[in-house]
Amino acid sequence: MDVKRITYTFSMGAGTALLGGMVALAQSTSSPQQQPSMPSQQPSASSPSNPNGPGANPGSTPTSSQDFSERAFISKGMEGGMAEVQLGQLAQQKSESNDVKQFAAKMVNDHGQMGEKWFKPVAQQMGISEPKGPSKKDKKEIEKLQGLSGQDFDREYITMMVKDHQKDLKEFQSEAQSAQDPTVKQIADKGSQVIQQHLQIIEQIAKAHNIDVGGKEMSSTN
């Protein structure tokens, strides 16, 4: 019996088996796993009246134009809500008309609730800083109204509210159609319903006060 030959054959077989195992191990560890470019957003079961959070994680960084659009909508919504509350508080103090004061009180209540229960919780979970106050444009409108009183104040406030709500309604409806985050979409949809109700009320008030807000003079007798 050739002992050397047997030993050599055994060594070669063991070496081949060991090499095959190492190759298999290398292949299993070096094969990259596919990672999603963005975390998938699961539909939220929460309603805007008590949102438990949007699809985005706290402090998340926007990675697409869609992300920027939705974040901008939330931030702008908070600014606009602050402006509506401040304008409503001012109207309650300076207006001489009961219907205007009642509408102003509704603005303070509704937009205050929307800001606290809808926008702020979502902003926190999306990592969006709360605005320090209304936008520069809204601040100028507030300053303008502070210098008016009586019928002049009512006319300017009513006109301002009609135009602002017409613009806001279009923006909310557009966001409700385009938003991909389920909670942002829900806020935009529910918010557009609230704003549409506000618009209908203020248009009736404008009509009662015979104020032109749509290219022609309105009359309470129409």
pLDDT digits (tens, 9 = 90+) for 13-62: 444 444 444 334 334 333 333 333 322 333 343 444 444 333 344 444 55
Count of C-beta atoms within a 10 Å radius of residue 87: 23
Question: Residue 210: pLDDT band by 50, 70, 90 thresholds?
Answer: very high
Q: Domain 65-208: which topology?
A: Ferritin (1.20.1260)
CA distance 177 to 81: 21
pLDDT at residue 200 tops 80: yes
Tokens linked to 86:
């401040």
Closest CA to 184 of 37, 79, 85, 66: 66
Mean pLDDT of 128-147: 94
Supply the pLDDT for residue 4: 45
Closest CA to 84 of 50, 119, 54, 53: 119
Supply the pLDDT for residue 111: 97
Q: In this prediction, what percent of the chain has a pLDDT beyond 90?
A: 64
Helix H segments across 31-149? 65-94, 98-113, 120-126, 136-146
CA distance 98 to 110: 18
Domain limits of the chain?
A: 65-208
Supply the pLDDT for residue 63: 54
Tokens linked to 202:
């203020």
pTM reported for the whole predicted model? 0.69
Give tens-digit pLDDT for 144-163. 999 999 999 999 999 999 99
Question: Residue 67: pLDDT band by 50, 70, 90 thresholds?
Answer: confident
